[in-house]
């Protein structure tokens, strides 16, 4: 039942909803998370400071963090993306007021420190990345493929986010897409590690469940393919052995063979699909797999000699 939201609303949205419910206890982490959201979605305008996000979960987080840290007067506006789109854009605005300058200074301070590589505490870096992900992140359903993406506006932003992720030994790719830049992870382990850092434990369990299922399926497929290949080889060898025996029977007669070769030839004709091990166990006394194979090699040599003599080479 704990994974039901993932089924109802989609894996990416459910992950964002889970992360949006996390409000850090430390004020420094609250500021870092808000700075992460503002870093990718914040803009200073003549009317005040706007944080514009495309998801209700991210909008709630922005509102709660501003309220927790500064208790400013805020305006919230909802706009539709397009005429027929069901999706909305949420604008959380801090209008001109005495605390606005301090808010902007604090947010800029965090962003500037990270831009200079002054990373500070692990907990704050995790909160910063969670803010960035809430604003611009998405995660493909792992049943389809492993792909986590953060879409931002510039390579400069990408470099800072990439540097922050590298402090946790996470290596992401960067690609240009029209007017945007995308950071991405395609490795299941790396995505799992990032979800752990962000606090997405339910999403992580879901991801790991899929990874285990995929791993088991791949292992079964490898075993089946290997078994099929072995069966093909066994049948191919058996058909070749029967071909040799029929040739000997036709050109020289099985009575011309030594006792042990005649015996193995007769058993092969009786059990055309049996393995070498099964044929060996049918003998009295039983013979090992290598022993049976040795007798078939002798039959093959005999058959080749007949082909050469009869001009019936295949």
Nearest by Cα to 136 from 104, 158, 106: 158
Domains and CATH numbers, the chain: 4-199 (3.10.28.10), 233-310 (no CATH)
Residue the block writes with tokens 């949205």:
13
- What does each of the 314 residues of the chain score in pLDDT, given as a tens digit? 333 333 334 778 888 888 999 999 999 999 999 999 999 999 999 899 999 998 888 999 999 999 999 999 999 998 876 655 567 889 999 999 999 999 999 999 999 999 999 998 999 999 999 999 999 998 887 777 888 999 999 999 999 999 999 999 999 999 998 889 999 999 888 988 998 899 988 877 887 777 666 666 666 667 667 767 777 777 788 888 888 888 888 888 888 888 888 888 888 888 887 888 888 888 888 889 888 888 888 888 888 888 887 764 44
Q: HEC states along 251-309?
A: HCCHHHCCHHHHHHHHHHHHCCCCCHHHHHHHCCCCCCHHHHHHHHHHHHHHHHHHHHH
Nearest by Cα to 124 from 23, 17, 26: 26
CA-angle at 102, arms to 96 and 103, nearest 5°? 75
SS3 184: strand
Q: List residues bridging with 182 in a β-sheet.
A: 151, 175
d(CA 186, CA 176): 16
Close Cβ partners of 189 (under 8 Å, ≥ 6 residues apart): none
- Residue 135: asked if its preceding bond is cis (omega within 30°), the reply is no
- Answering whether pTM is above 0.95, one says no
Close Cβ partners of 156 (under 8 Å, ≥ 6 residues apart): none
């Amino acid at each position: 039942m704990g994974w039901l939201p993932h089924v109802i609303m989609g894996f990416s949205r459910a992950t964002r909803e889970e992360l949006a419910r996390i409000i850090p206890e430390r004020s420094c982490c609250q500021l870092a998370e808000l700075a992460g959201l503002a870093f990718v979605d914040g803009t200073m305008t003549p009317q005040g400071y706007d944080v514009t996000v495309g998801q209700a979960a991210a909008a709630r987080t922005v509102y709660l963090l501003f309220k927790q840290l500064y208790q400013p007067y805020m305006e919230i506006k909802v706009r539709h993306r397009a005429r027929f789109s069901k999706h909305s854009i949420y604008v959380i605005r801090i209008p001109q007021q005495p605390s606005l300058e301090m808010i902007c200074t604090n947010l800029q301070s965090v962003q500037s420190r990270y831009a200079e590589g002054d990373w500070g505490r692990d907990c704050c870096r995790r909160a910063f990345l969670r803010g960035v992900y809430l604003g611009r992140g998405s995660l493909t359903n792992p049943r389809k493929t492993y792909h986590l993406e953060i879409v931002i506006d510039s390579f400069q932003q990408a470099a800072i986010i990439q540097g922050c992720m590298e402090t946790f030994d996470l290596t992401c790719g960067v690609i240009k897409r029209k007017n945007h830049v995308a950071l991405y992870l395609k490795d299941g382990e790396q995505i799992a590690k990032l979800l752990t850092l962000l606090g997405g434990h339910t999403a992580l369990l879901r991801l790991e469940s899929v990874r285990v299922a995929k791993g088991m399926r791949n292992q079964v497929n490898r075993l089946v393919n290997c078994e099929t290949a072995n069966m093909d080889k066994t049948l191919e060898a058996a058909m070749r052995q029967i071909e040799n025996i029929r040739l000997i029977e036709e050109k020289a007669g099985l009575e011309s063979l030594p006792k042990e070769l005649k015996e193995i030839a007769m058993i092969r004709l009786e059990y055309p699909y049996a393995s070498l091990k099964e044929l060996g166990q049918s003998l009295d006394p039983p013979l090992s797999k290598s022993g049976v194979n040795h007798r078939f090699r002798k039959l093959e040599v005999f058959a080749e000699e007949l082909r050469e003599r009869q001009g019936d080479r295949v």
